[in-house]
Amino acid sequence: MAVVQKHLAKFILLLMITTALIAAETTSKDESLIIYGGNILTMDPSNPTTKAMLISNGVIQAIGTMEELLIMSPLSKELNLQGKTIIPGFIDSHVHVHQLGAEQIKANLVGADSVKEMVTRLRSFYPNPTIDQWLIGQGWDEGKWASKGYPDRALLDEAFPNNPIYLQSLHGFASFYNNRALEIARINELTANPKVGQILKRANGQPTGVFLTLARDLVNKHIPEASVDERKKAIIAGLKLMASAGVTTIHEAGIGEKNLQAFLELREANKLPIRVYGFLDGNDETLMKKMFKEGPILDPEHRLTIRGIKIYYDGSLGSRTALLREPYSDEPSKANMTERITPERVSSLADRAIKHGFQLAVHAIGDEANDRVLNIFTKAINGDDNIDHRWRIEHAQVVLPNYYQRVVEIGVISSMQSSHAVGDSGWAEDRLGKNRIRRAYAWQNILEAGGRLIINSDLPGEPWRPEQTLHFAVTRQNLNDQPPEGWYPKQRLSMMTALKAMTSEPAFAAFQENVLGSLKVGMLADFVILDKDLREIPESEIKQLNVLSTWVNGQKIWPSSSSTSMHK
């Protein structure tokens, strides 16, 4: 409790100091702002739209007509939307923003369909590497490669004999290394698989270079770690990029100890451009013991809140490491169903989360994994209706028939990614067969049962911009508008349902529904201005939606504030 008070005191002191420093740039009682002349979609069911909005001190003070607000605040500055549309700021409720920023120092392998192309991209990104410099790339799709056969390191060895190579997969459940990396890690044909994970091998027993799930740790522990300052630079780069896309709050999934330090230092320096709601890495028991002792980090300004725990339970469907109740429908002999953490440890984390006031979010892809997680949740909550836990299952990709009713009864939030349904559509039915696929990526099934659904990107693994996430959710089509009717179109969401799952519902999922996620009196003034009205836009144009500006606390953070067009 003392540590929590220490964090609170620090943030309150920070608030007092920074208020004076930014007073000239913040809408005060004497310098309020009235926004009018367009479409304001509030996401408030009791008042879905409004004509004008009065902002002061970063808070929405009133909504109504322009004439009403001018009577209330005749000296306010004014911003004419000129027919444009305002919605609450997008809340991306499952991201890895540090990775998004760090990608700027990695070779981009998204879409690479041959090792030859990987080599070409690595040479372009690293034209003159020094001997034993690690060459890092990211984005090869383990799901697609698993269907046609995983790559072999031979061409990597030939092209880069003196440089260790580490190539992260698109979804983070496989990695690809060359011989030099294996030499540094002292891995050869005699190296056994770890308890959880798999080293893929050639017919002669030598490693191919592809390592699945936790087997990657055998090599990754030899890669030099980024410093806290480097992590801070990556986080800021990622947050600024997201702000430019209209995201005003993120839920960072799986914060390790060094990234936690980086986030805290950025908050103390008032350098977080958008809001961060953090989930700690629950698979790191050392970190969890420390944080259970210290307690959640609660920021009165809601700039940085750390009260969640993210647990990786099983693997991924594409790499055939997700935990299914029945065998994989395609090539079950190549499957390696994975529990990355024991149910006993998850149960222990659940019990301690309740005791110490933390929220739980568990990565579960396969139907057996989802069922086991729900069993753990049920036991930990034990029917206590006084626990406002708002626990989440991250992905919930493949579920058993009773999943939908169980999440309603337990009060579990399904946190799902519209990009995954579209991105996996080329091979997901092969993995699952015609029966199980109807209980996969099934957003409407959850809503029709009365469950709570949030839609997010899980960036940086797939196209992540909010207009793309909306497009996938509403159409179940890829960015080339295929298939024409959408993939399993009965699961499509309406525009306003999808928007709710990206604004007000994520706010609820973070215990922030009283300050974020909708535009009504008393809420923080986080919003975006769009070039089109989402209620009228044709489905084919959703992915072309443009964010004209992004606002946090009533201040325009993108583009620069100096270009804001206000007049009196």
pLDDT tens sequence across 464-522 = 999 999 999 999 999 999 999 999 999 999 999 999 999 999 999 999 999 999 999 99
**Distance in angstroms (rounded) separating the CA atoms of residues 362 and 372:** 11
Question: Backbone phi, then psi, for 138, in 5-degree steps?
Answer: -150, 140
Share of the chain above pLDDT 70, in %: 93
- Residue 277 is predicted with a pLDDT of 98
Between 5 and 145, the higher pLDDT residue: 145
Measured at the CA of 455, the angle between CA 292 and CA 359, to 5 degrees, comes to 15
Question: Domain residues of the chain, as ranges?
Answer: 27-89+524-563, 102-220
* Mean pLDDT, rounded, for 185-195: 95
Return the CATH number of the domain spanning residue range 102-220.
3.10.310.70
Query: Which CATH number fits the domain 27-89+524-563, given the four candidates 3.30.70.360, 2.30.40.10, 3.40.50.170, 3.20.20.140?
Result: 2.30.40.10
Among the listed residues 40, 35, 350, 101, the one whose alpha carbon sits nearest the alpha carbon of residue 250: 101
* Mean pLDDT, rounded, for 520-545: 97
**Distance in angstroms (rounded) separating the CA atoms of residues 546 and 392:** 31
- Residue 561 is predicted with a pLDDT of 52
Taking only the tens place, the pLDDT of each residue in 343-374 is 999 999 999 999 999 999 999 999 999 999 99
Type of residue at 306: I
Among the listed residues 1, 7, 2, 3, the one whose alpha carbon sits nearest the alpha carbon of residue 300: 7
Contact present, 320 and 326 (Cβ < 8 Å): no
DSSP, res 330? S
The four Cα atoms 119, 121, 123, 127 give a dihedral, to 10 degrees, of -170
Taking only the tens place, the pLDDT of each residue in 424-443 is 999 999 999 999 999 999 99
**Distance in angstroms (rounded) separating the CA atoms of residues 469 and 473:** 6
* Mean pLDDT, rounded, for 79-101: 97
Contact present, 4 and 294 (Cβ < 8 Å): yes
Contact present, 376 and 346 (Cβ < 8 Å): yes
